[in-house]
Amino acid sequence: MGYQSPIFSVDVNVTGVNITTGAASASASIPNNSAGIVARYVRVTATQYAHIKVGKGSATALATDTMVIPGEALIFCCAGADTIAAIQDTASGTVNVVPLEWA
C-alpha cells in the first residue's frame, strides 16, 4: 500500500472581494468559485481587527461576531450563504474574502 499524505490542499482559482471596514457594517457578495457558483468555502483575512458574519440575502456584522485578527486567516464554510459582512473592531481596515476549492 502506498503512502498517503495527511496533507490536503486548496485551490484559489478566481478573484475574491475586499470589504472596507468602518464603524458601520459593510457587506459584499460571497465570490463565485471557478464553476460560477457561490463558493462553499472562503478564506478570510484582515489588515486590522474586524468582525465578520455570513448570511443569506443580507448580513450585518456586529462587534460580537467572529473576530478576524490581522495576520491570521480563517476558513469559513458558507454553505447556503451568499453575503459576508464586516465591521471594524477599533480601527478601519480591509477584509479580504477569497473563494476556495478543494484540490
Residue 77, C-beta contacts closer than 8 angstroms, at least 6 positions apart: 40, 41
pLDDT at 44: 96
Cell numbers at 40, concatenated: 462553499
pTM for the whole structure: 0.87
Report in angstroms the alpha-carbon separations of 91 from 19, 63, 64, 88, 94.
Answer: 14, 12, 16, 6, 10
pLDDT at 102: 73
First-last CA distance in the chain: 22
State the 10-residue block means of pLDDT for the chain, 103 residues long.
62 88 97 89 96 95 97 91 97 96 72
Domain boundary assignment for the chain: 11-102
Strands 93-102 and 10-11: antiparallel
Which CATH entry fits the domain spanning 11-102: 1.10.10, 1.20.1070, 2.60.120, 2.30.30?
Answer: 2.60.120
